[in-house]
């Protein structure tokens, strides 16, 4: 059987010819085609004019400055990234993708602190999955015709031969670790500061890179052919040390695996069991599925002392739906033209967004059992657009009809003075932050 753990990525990236197999594990089957075009459409010929300066908005979204105001940092700092196009440009239609001025803006607790130009000349990708904030710095990866280029705050860190899509990055003891998957076929590579520490040429990644108590953990599988029959063996990597995952003998299909420092959880279909199960050591939980429905793909995640699963399911008539489970029980079943996105766990709570199908409809935000309405015509553009900071839920919302993007904070709306969309919001503990670059980075290396 085709590895179901990867079907999630293959389906969700079917409208993305650039990265057919390597989009983030949580991207969705019902992505809006117009929004995906916008997400993948920044191009830069040069930086200057309207696209050069960070706009000075009102309130919390002020101009360039010290976001801390000289006061001690809070325990958690909220970072955000957004794509900003020149004024007046319709980034949704994106008819001038190869020449339009576009930059990546970094916000720190609501204040814009850095701006990096995007495009081939700068070797910074237009794909929001190819940038992330780690330790208070902006890291980007970019693929040329033959190389992978990694930059920090717009400046090159290193480049190496081979085209990799970086699936995850972590900093431990000032060293940068990255997990990449080949864009030219199968194969995964774990690197430390660009140097290979683990390489598997026939492997495919299962799930995501996890930093569990400063242990780098992930799972992968390799196809095995015996007596003309194909099967898969699953492996766990913890700090580069690989061991085979001992799945149950009655497993038919492994859907997803979550590897921790000393714990492995997986979702599987078993012989003789009608619904998928979550296996955690010696315990097993069945996922509650509506009658006539089968699982297509899923992702398992920790929710405090509980286990969450988000999945795409299909009815016998071919209609798809999305479900979020907590300890096997359904929290939400979503059937419609929109989609569930940005599923996150904080403490014992689960949070996610139910995106609307069009600009005339209001989506919803699920906050640990409470369903809240968000502004009509807004959506989240990526799965990393939701966090909880200091007990307040932050959701980065981008407009379907060309208005300014906003941050929804427990019902309070703050707008960004940019022409574009929010690509990610992430919380970082202040003790893990080093001094990042400030200002505009405009010179290509």
Q: Which of 319, 389, 309, 372 is nearest to 343 (CA)?
A: 309
Looking at residue 408, its pLDDT comes to: 95
In a domain, 369, yes or no: yes
Number of domains in the chain: 1
- Rounded Cα–Cα distance for residues 200 and 244 (Å): 14
- 123: containing domain: 4-440
DSSP H stretches of helix in 378-427: none
Q: Which segment of 7-21, 145-159, 270-284, 288-302 scores lowest on mean pLDDT?
A: 7-21
Residue 80: its pLDDT value, please? Answer: 95
Identify the weakest region by mean pLDDT among 124-128, 217-221, 372-376, 378-382.
124-128
pLDDT digits (tens, 9 = 90+) for 157-210: 999 999 999 999 999 988 999 999 999 878 999 999 999 999 999 999 998 999
- Cβ–Cβ under 8 Å, residues 441 and 115: yes
- Cα distance between the two ends of the chain: 46
pLDDT tens-digit series, residues 327-369:
999 998 888 777 899 999 999 999 999 998 888 889 999 999 9
- Over residues 223-247, the mean pLDDT reads 93
Residue 196 lies in a domain: yes
Per-residue pLDDT reduced to its tens digit, 55-108:
333 333 333 334 344 444 457 889 999 999 988 888 887 777 667 789 999 999
69 part of a folded domain: yes
Count the Cβ atoms, other than its own, within 10 Å of residue 411: 10
> Mean pLDDT score of the chain, rounded to an integer?
81
241 - beta bridge partners?
Answer: 238
Percent of the chain with pLDDT over 90: 60
Q: pLDDT-based confidence at 37, cuts 50/70/90?
A: very low
Sorting pLDDT into bands at 50, 70 and 90, what band is 2?
Answer: very low
**At a CB cut-off of 8 Å and minimum separation 6, what does 362 contact?**
356, 373, 374, 375, 376, 377
The predicted structure's pLDDT at residue 75 = 77
Q: Which of residues 434 and 57 earns the better pLDDT score? A: 434
Q: Provide the greatest CA pair distance for the chain.
A: 69
Residues with Cβ < 8 Å from 229, sequence gap 6 or more? Answer: none
Tokens (6 digits) for 364: 């919803």
The residue that leads in pLDDT, 96 or 140, is 140
Residues 6+ apart with CB under 8 A from 120: 43, 44
Asked whether residue 377 carries a pLDDT value surpassing 80, the answer given is yes
Quick one: which H or E segment has residue 5? helix 4-12
Q: Is 146 helix (H, G, I), strand (E, B) or coil?
A: coil
The mean pLDDT of 112-134, rounded to a whole number, is 91
CA-closest candidate to residue 299, choices 219, 396, 367: 219
**Torsion angle of C-alpha atoms 424, 189, 303, 78, degrees rounded to 10:** -30
Q: Are 126 and 116 in contact (CB under 8 A)?
A: no
Question: Where are the alpha helices (H) located in 14-100, listed in sequence order?
Answer: 33-39
Q: What is the pLDDT of residue 215?
A: 92
Provide the CATH number for the domain around residue 105.
2.130.10
The pLDDT of residue 297: 94
Beta bridge partners of 288: none
Per-residue pLDDT at 338? 79
pLDDT of 38 reads 32
Integer Cα distance of 386 and 376 in angstroms: 18
pLDDT at 13 over 80: no
Per-residue confidence (pLDDT) for residue 261, from 0 to 100 = 86
pLDDT band at 19 (very low <50, low <70, confident <90, very high): very low
445 found inside a domain? no
Kindly state the average pLDDT of the residues 101-130: 91
Per-residue pLDDT reduced to its tens digit, 249-275: 999 999 999 999 889 999 999 999 999
Phi/psi region, residue 138 (left: phi>0; alpha: psi -120 to 50; beta: rest), is: beta
Span 28-35, mean pLDDT?
34
Helix (H) or strand (E) holding 6: helix 4-12
Q: How many CA atoms lie within 13 A of 63 on its CB side?
A: 3
3-state secondary structure of 1: coil
pLDDT score of 440 = 65
Residue 17 clears pLDDT 50, i.e. is over it: no
Kindly list the distances between the CA atom of residue 385 and the CA atoms of 174, 342, 398, 422, in Å, as whole numbers in the listed order. Answer: 26, 6, 10, 7
What pLDDT is recorded for position 351? 96
In a domain, 398, yes or no: yes
Q: Is the pLDDT of residue 43 over 80?
A: no
């Amino acid at each position: 059987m085709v590895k179901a753990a990867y079907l999630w990525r293959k389906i969700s990236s079917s409208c993305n010819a650039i990265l057919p197999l390597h989009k983030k594990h949580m991207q969705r089957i019902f992505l809006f085609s117009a929004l995906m075009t916008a997400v993948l459409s920044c191009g830069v010929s040069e930086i200057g004019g309207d696209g050069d300066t960070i706009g000075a908005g009102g309130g919390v979204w002020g101009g360039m400055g010290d976001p801390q105001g000289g006061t001690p940092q809070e325990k958690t700092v909220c970072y955000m990234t957004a794509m900003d196009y020149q004024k007046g440009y319709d980034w949704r239609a994106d008819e001038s993708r190869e020449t339009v001025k576009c930059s990546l803006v970094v916000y720190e607790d609501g204040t814009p602190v850095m701006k990096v130009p995007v495009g081939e000349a700068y070797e910074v990708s237009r794909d929001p999955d190819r940038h992330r904030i780690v330790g208070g710095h902006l890291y980007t990866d970019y693929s040329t015709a033959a190389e992978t280029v990694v930059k920090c705050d717009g400046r090159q860190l290193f480049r190496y031969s081979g085209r990799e899509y970086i699936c995850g990055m972590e900093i431990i003891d000032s060293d940068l670790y990255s997990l990449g998957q080949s864009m030219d076929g199968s194969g995964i590579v774990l690197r430390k500061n660009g140097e290979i520490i683990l390489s598997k040429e026939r492997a495919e990644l299962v799930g995501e890179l996890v930093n569990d108590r400063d242990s780098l953990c992930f799972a992968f599988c390799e196809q095995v052919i015996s007596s003309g029959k194909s099967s898969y063996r699953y492996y766990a990597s913890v700090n580069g040390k690989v061991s085979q995952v001992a799945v149950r003998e009655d497993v038919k299909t492994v859907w997803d695996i979550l590897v921790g420092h000393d714990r492995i959880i997986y979702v599987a279909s078993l012989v003789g069991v009608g619904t998928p199960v979550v296996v955690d050591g010696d315990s097993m939980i069945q996922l509650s599925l509506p009658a006539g429905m089968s699982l297509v793909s899923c992702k398992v995640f920790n929710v405090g002392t509980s286990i969450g699963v988000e999945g795409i399911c299909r009815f016998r008539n071919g209609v798809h739906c999305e479900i979020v489970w907590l300890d096997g029980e359904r929290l939400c079943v979503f059937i419609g033209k929109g989609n569930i996105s940005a599923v996150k766990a904080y403490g014992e709570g689960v949070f996610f967004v139910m995106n609307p199908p069009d600009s005339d409809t209001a989506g919803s935000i699920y906050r640990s059992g409470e369903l809240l309405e968000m502004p009509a015509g807004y959506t989240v553009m990526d799965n990393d657009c939701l966090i909880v900071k200091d007990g307040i839920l932050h959701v980065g919302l981008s407009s379907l009809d060309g208005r300014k993007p906003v941050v929804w904070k427990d019902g309070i709306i703050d707008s960004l003075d940019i022409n574009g969309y929010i690509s990610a919001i992430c919380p970082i503990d202040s003790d893990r932050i080093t001094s990042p670059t400030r200002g505009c980075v405009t010179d290509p290396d």
